[in-house]
A and B are shown apart, each in its own frame.
Chain A
Amino acid sequence: MSRHSVSTEVNGRLYEREVDARLLLSDFLRHELGLTGTHVGCEHGVCGACTVLLDGEPVRSCLIFAVQADGRKLATVEGLASSPDELHPLQQAFRDAHGLQCGFCTAGILMTMVPFLEENPAPTETQVREALSGNLCRCTGYQHIVDAVLLAAERRA
Chain B
Amino acid sequence: MKPPPFDYLAPSSLEEALDVLAEKGGEAKLLAGGQSLVPVLNFRLAQPALLVDLNRIAELDYIDVDEAGAVRIGAMTRQRALERDPRIAASAPLLAETMPLIAHPQIRNRGTIGGSLAHADPAGELPVAAVALDGEIVLRGRRGERTVAAADFFVGLMTTAMTEDEMLCELRLPATPKRTGWSFREIARRHGDYAHAGVAARMTLADDGTIARARLVYLSAGEVPLSATAATGVLDGGAPCEELFAEAASTARGEVDPSDDIHATAEFKKHLAEVLTRRALAAAWERARAAQR
Name 17 extra pairs, CB < 8 A, besides A63-B34, A64-B34. A1-B6, A1-B7, A2-B8, A21-B5, A22-B2, A24-B42, A43-B1, A43-B2, A43-B42, A44-B1, A57-B80, A58-B105, A58-B106, A59-B109, A60-B35, A65-B38, A133-B104
* Interface assignment of B53: CB less than 8 Å from any CB of chain A: yes
A60-74 interface code vs B (CB 8 A; 1 in, 0 out): 101111011000000
Please report the C-alpha to C-alpha distance between residue A148 and residue B263 in the assembled complex, in whole angstroms.
Answer: 31
Number of B residues with CB within 8 Å of any CB on chain A: 31
* Interface assignment of A106: CB less than 8 Å from any CB of chain B: no
For this complex, 6 residue pairs linking A to B, each with C-beta atoms less than 8 Å apart, are A22-B6, A24-B38, A44-B42, A54-B109, A59-B110, A64-B34
- Looking across the interface, which residue of chain A has its beta carbon closest to that of B190? A133
Contact of B105 among A62, A65, A134 (CB under 8 A): A134
List residues of chain A with CB within 8 A of the CB of B268.
none
B26-57 interface code vs A (CB 8 A; 1 in, 0 out): 00000000110011011100000001010100
Judging by beta carbons under 8 Å apart, are B8 and A60 in contact?
no
Q: Which residues of A contact B (CB under 8 A)?
A: 1-2, 4, 20-22, 24, 27, 43-45, 48, 51, 54, 57-60, 62-65, 67-68, 112, 116, 129-131, 133-134
* Interface assignment of B22: CB less than 8 Å from any CB of chain A: no
List residues of chain A with CB within 8 A of the CB of B106.
48, 51, 58-60, 112, 134
Judging by beta carbons under 8 Å apart, are B4 and A22 in contact?
yes
- Evaluate whether A24 and B2 lie within 8 angstroms (CB atoms) in the complex, with A60-B110, A134-B104 already known: yes
* Interface assignment of B191: CB less than 8 Å from any CB of chain A: yes
Judging by beta carbons under 8 Å apart, are B5 and A22 in contact?
yes
Q: Which residues of B contact A (CB under 8 A)?
A: 1-8, 10, 34-35, 38-39, 41-43, 51, 53, 55, 80, 103-107, 109-110, 190-193
- Evaluate whether A21 and B8 lie within 8 angstroms (CB atoms) in the complex, with A63-B38, A133-B191 already known: yes
Contact of B107 among A54, A60, A67 (CB under 8 A): A60
Contact of B3 among A24, A59, A112, A131 (CB under 8 A): A24
List residues of chain A with CB within 8 A of the CB of B191.
129-130, 133
List residues of chain A with CB within 8 A of the CB of B2.
22, 24, 27, 43
Please report the C-alpha to C-alpha distance between residue A149 and residue B103 in the assembled complex, in whole angstroms.
Answer: 21
- Looking across the interface, which residue of chain B has its beta carbon closest to that of A3? B8
List residues of chain A with CB within 8 A of the CB of B80.
57
List residues of chain B with CB within 8 A of the CB of A62.
38, 42
The 3 closest A-B pairs by CB, nearest first: A134-B104, A21-B8, A1-B5
Judging by beta carbons under 8 Å apart, are A134 and B42 in contact?
no
Report B44 CB to chain A, min CB distance, Å: 11
List residues of chain B with CB within 8 A of the CB of A54.
109
Report B196 CB to chain A, min CB distance, Å: 16
Please report the C-alpha to C-alpha distance between residue A62 and residue B34 in the assembled complex, in whole angstroms.
Answer: 10
Contact of B39 among A27, A45, A64 (CB under 8 A): A45
- Looking across the interface, which residue of chain B has its beta carbon closest to that of A115? B105
Please report the C-alpha to C-alpha distance between residue A130 and residue B10 in the assembled complex, in whole angstroms.
Answer: 35
List residues of chain B with CB within 8 A of the CB of A57.
80, 109
